[in-house]
Structure 1
């Protein structure tokens, strides 16, 4: 059942589940990018997350006309060599009373070869290939914000950014790490699905530690 058919009470109860989900990208070398919707700290169910069907057409940055193929739990798309970025504010319809609508915008990046942020909300490496990252929103570092680190074995740790908006990722094992940050804007904002009174932004960055 999609969110638009839920009762107001059900929408309120559904909101935490909506906000608990993330969009993230995985890539092996310069192969196709795989775009997921789910909870990266948990084992992905067979066939993908139950909410995966809501992920339909994330937009790559820079823009691309490459076709996306729906696989079992992810969307697959060819992308140029290097880091891959995507964004989508149409995954879940806005929820809540008409005068207090809330919405969510997702941002995602795979790779750490490019030491700059180009998405409106992004976790970028301070230097190419490094394990120190900076959280950037609207072009400015975000100090004292929590970043969740998910290790290859699904171990998670919350790390706060410093006064410069940076953090060092605690590397434990080889494999893919996922970084997650959230921002709640109670001044609202515009989304592709309309204006909302509260906008939740969720950003992820994945990279592989060798």
Structure 2
């Protein structure tokens, strides 16, 4: 089943929150660390230029909340696997106060996978920068129907995932919620130049064990980011 943030299908305009609001969000996230709440509040995304390195962030894109290395970012990004378009595993090439950089080069999509457990929930974060590849490789992934297209199919473990909410964030700090159709498809518009981030989540009520710790369910949180030049 998908995780819903609401049923609104119309644009919602959001402005940057005040510092006190950002501080409150961070405190709330810290309080929830150790539970699935922090995972539900935040997500991982990648930022990348045309052919340069990829930067990993954790937080709230629309609110300009980017967690720090000495805070939640460092606690969540413990062993991310970042791969180039050809499957080559990329090495971390640097760190900033609120990001980890990976030495990507050349064209093609870059992907990240990072599992982490919050109490009884195993959260599997996924992120992709680029909309060139039309084949899904992450457990939960949005793929374009053609390179550079604005129509996407949400895949879960290789199959289209229907009736699942997808949130699209874009400039100027705008967001709109969609639901994938019976074929897992959504179609968006990109009216402004700049960065867009798409987020989707899915939960499996499936118990298991990872690294010696038991969990009751698995939550998949995946993002797709790309830039529009106009």
* TM-score normalised according to structure 2 size: 0.76
Separation in 2, partners of 1:153, 1:180: 17
Separation in 2, partners of 1:102, 1:86: 20
Q: 1:58-104, CA deviations, whole angstroms, 9 ceiling, x for partnerless residues?
A: 101324252342212110011242110010003xx331xxxxx2121
> Of the candidates 35, 42, 56, which is equivalent to residue 56 of structure 2?
35
Separation in 2, partners of 1:116, 1:23: 21
Separation in 2, partners of 1:203, 1:12: 19
Cα drift, residue 179 of structure 1? 0.3
- Matched pairs, number: 194
* TM-score normalised according to structure 1 size: 0.83
- Alpha-carbon RMSD across the aligned residues, in angstroms, is 2.3
CA 1:207–1:20: 2 relative to 1, 3 Å: same
The SS at the match of 2:61 is coil
Structure 2 spans left out of the alignment, 5+ residues: 1-30
> Of the candidates 71, 78, 103, which is equivalent to residue 56 of structure 1?
78
The answer on 1:23 being equivalent to 2:44 is yes
How is 1:78-117 mapped onto 2 (pairs within 5 angstroms)? 78-81=103-106, 82-90=108-116, 93-95=117-119, 101-117=120-136
**More RCO (CA 8 Å, sep 6+):** 2
Structure 1 spans left out of the alignment, 5+ residues: 1-9, 96-100
Separation in 1, partners of 2:54, 2:33: 33
- Matched residue, 1:67: 92
CA 1:67–1:11: 2 relative to 1, 3 Å: closer
The answer on 1:131 being equivalent to 2:150 is yes
The answer on 1:144 being equivalent to 2:132 is no
Contact 2:57/2:67, CA 8 A, preserved across alignment: no
Contact 2:92/2:100, CA 8 A, preserved across alignment: no
Cα drift, residue 105 of structure 1? 0.8
Separation in 2, partners of 1:41, 1:49: 22
The answer on 1:188 being equivalent to 2:207 is yes
CA 1:114–1:45: 2 relative to 1, 3 Å: closer
